[in-house]
């Protein structure tokens, strides 16, 4: 019997059930159940995540379930996993990545560039806010929290002219038709780990780790590890306006990252490429380049 811990949201449950189905396919004689938990990140919706403890609020209750032996593993969006996991836990597998881009969603306009002056855009992500402000300082950014369906409902009620969401979540829930345009990852650098699912277990469960090893996608693991290395080098688990994106083509890894002030006025970028086997040193090069350009000073502005 394998028990999977998940957040209650429709998307989180889709992700957990996706992993459950993969396990059932691989081990047909194994019973798998998905258990849902309400997390603080889902409960507190009237404040920006940066002010209430960051994305780690989405996984604490799931980790308690692992510690209390109420569940064997937890499934997370890797973008919600803090850079430093508490000692008893580890990410034992990262499954194949879905589209990592951000999606422009609107009922009136086809793209971010088409928005009129002073249009209202919904997002509570410091990263998205700074990238939008950098390109379109005339736009008004309003807070947008809640699960995917809640956010879409708020758009449909007319509160916003457009909202920005992760493409992966919309694709997974068969809502790809809501995507008016995908934001170019070279200009609108995604969140670290966006589109990838991580499997968290207790470190001492070596047999379970071996059991779940088939879920790991090596290319996605390399990409996500590189992105997380940059984030950890720059800011640890602190919530700051930054993003990183790693891509692989013909075994060549290209990593790009940015750091910005929340208002998008100060923005620096760095990139490097090389063999996949050197992903951590390449990531370190990118992080050092950002630091050399003044990233630490900028991060002081948006420090959470």
Tens of pLDDT, residues 185-241: 999 999 999 999 999 999 999 999 999 999 999 999 999 999 999 999 987 545 678
Q: Long-range contacts made by residues 83-87, C-beta under 8 angstroms, separation at least 24?
A: 83/228, 83/231, 83/232, 83/235, 83/236, 83/237, 84/232, 84/236, 84/237, 85/200, 87/203
Each domain of the chain, given as residue ranges in start order, spans 2-95+196-216, 102-182, 228-301
CATH assignment of 2-95+196-216? 3.40.190.10
Quick check: 302 pLDDT over 50? Answer: no
Domains 102-182 and 228-301 alike in fold: no
Burial of 44 (0-12, 13-18, 19+ CB in 10 A): middle
Q: How far is CA 246 from the centre of its chain?
A: 13
**Per-residue buried b or exposed e for 133-144, using 16+ beta carbons within 10 Å of the residue's own CB:** bbebeebebbeb
CATH assignment of 102-182? 3.40.190.10
Going by the DSSP 8-state scheme, the letter that residue 116 receives in this structure is P
Per-residue confidence (pLDDT) for residue 154, from 0 to 100: 96
Antiparallel, parallel or unpaired: β 2-7 and 73-77: parallel
Going by the DSSP 8-state scheme, the letter that residue 83 receives in this structure is S
Nearest Cα neighbor of 297 from 253, 254, 265 is: 265
- Mean pLDDT, range 289-294, rounded to an integer: 94
Q: Are 201 and 256 in contact (CB under 8 A)?
A: no
Antiparallel, parallel or unpaired: β 162-166 and 120-122: parallel
Residues serving a catalytic function are 80
pLDDT in tens, 236-268: 545 678 999 999 999 899 999 999 988 899 999
Q: Which of 1-5, 146-150, 285-289 has the lowest mean pLDDT?
A: 146-150
Q: Which option is the CATH number for 228-301: 1.25.40.420, 3.40.47.10, 3.30.160.40, 3.40.50.2300? A: 3.30.160.40
d(CA 29, CA 40): 35
pTM of the model: 0.90
């Amino acid at each position: 019997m394998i028990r999977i811990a998940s957040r209650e949201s429709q998307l989180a449950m889709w992700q957990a059930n996706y992993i459950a189905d993969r396990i059932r396919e691989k081990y047909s004689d194994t019973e798998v159940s998905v258990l849902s938990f309400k997390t603080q990140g889902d409960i507190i919706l009237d404040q920006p995540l940066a002010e209430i403890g960051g994305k780690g609020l989405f996984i604490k209750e799931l980790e308690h379930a692992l510690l209390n032996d109420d569940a064997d593993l937890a499934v997370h969006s890797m973008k919600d996993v803090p850079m430093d996991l508490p000692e008893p836990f580890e990410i034992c597998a990262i499954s194949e990545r879905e589209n990592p881009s951000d999606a422009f969603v609107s009922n009136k306009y086809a793209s971010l560039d088409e928005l009129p002056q002073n249009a209202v855009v919904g997002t509570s992500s410091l990263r998205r806010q700074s990238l939008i402000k950098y390109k379109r300082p005339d736009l008004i950014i309003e807070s947008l929290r809640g699960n995917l369906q809640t956010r879409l409902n708020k758009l449909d009620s007319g509160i916003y002219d457009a909202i920005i969401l992760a493409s992966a979540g919309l694709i997974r829930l068969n809502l790809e038709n809501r995507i008016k345009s995908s934001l170019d990852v070279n200009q609108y650098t995604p969140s670290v780990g966006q589109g990838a699912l991580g499997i968290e277990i207790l470190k001492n469960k070596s047999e379970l780790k071996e059991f779940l090893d088939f879920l790991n996608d090596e290319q996605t693991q390399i990409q996500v590890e590189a992105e997380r290395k940059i984030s950890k080098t720059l800011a640890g688990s602190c919530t700051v306006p930054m993003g990183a994106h790693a891509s692989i083509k013909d075994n060549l890894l290209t990593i790009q990252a940015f750091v910005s002030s929340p208002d998008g006025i100060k923005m620096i970028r760095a990139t490097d490429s090389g063999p996949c086997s050197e992903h951590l040193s390449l990531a370190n090069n990118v992080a050092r380049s950002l630091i050399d350009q003044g990233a630490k000073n900028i991060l002081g502005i948006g420090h959470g």
